[in-house]
Amino acid sequence: MNKILPTVISIVVLVTLTGLIYFSSDGNRNIPPGGETPKDELTLNAKTWAWAGTQMENGRVIKPAQENVFTVTFGEDGHVKLTTDCNSMGGEYAVSGNKITFDKVMSTMMYCENSQESEFSVFLQETPLYSLTEAGELVLEMDSGTMYLR
């Protein structure tokens, strides 16, 4: 009995960690899927999107330290609002096909130590391709990586 218990505990820990981390066999996505809005009701401006994480091209995974702090809200009027763990931002966006461009983006200018704002706002500097998934996610494909929002 004493020899079996450590093996059982090891298996339970391994299964739990694998489920939490979610590494796919091809290494393409380390951020688990999830969302609550049905795809047929999903549009960019259907809700406020919360950053779930980013899978960088070099394999690095960046996840927010705090859930639901980093958000993006696309208005029907072409305006976008963002919140981060430090500043608020706003500007304009345009959609052409499956590309999003951002313009006239302004931000408050507070300094916050250990902020993840630069990792989150990288998509503003690139022109990402976007898609809305069956799982209710907004996926932004960029040259530097793929960002997932729920």
Residue 14 above 50 pLDDT? no
Tokens of 94: 């345009």
| Structural domains in the chain (count) | 1
Which pLDDT belongs to residue 53? 94
pLDDT in tens, 29-57: 455 455 555 555 678 888 999 999 999 99
Residue bearing the bigger pLDDT, 142 or 2: 142
Please report, for residues 2, 3, 10, 112, 141, the alpha-carbon distance to residue 128 in angstroms, rounded to integers and kept in the order given.
Answer: 55, 53, 41, 27, 5
For residue 1, is it within any domain?
Answer: no
Q: Is residue 64 part of a domain?
A: yes
Asked whether residue 86 is assigned to any structural domain, the reply reads: yes
Q: Which domain holds residue 108?
A: 36-149
Judge whether 21 lies within some domain: no
CATH number of domain containing 42: 2.40.128.270
Asked if the structure places residue 18 within a domain, the reply is: no
pLDDT of the residue at 38: 52
Residue 19: per-residue pLDDT: 36
Q: Where do runs of H (alpha helix) occur along the chain? A: 4-21, 117-120
CB 94 within 8 A of CB 78: yes
Instruction: Give a yes or no: residue 132 inside a domain.
Output: yes
Is residue 75, in this structure, part of any structural domain at all? yes
Q: Judge whether 92 lies within some domain.
A: yes
Residue 71 to residue 94: CA distance in whole angstroms: 18
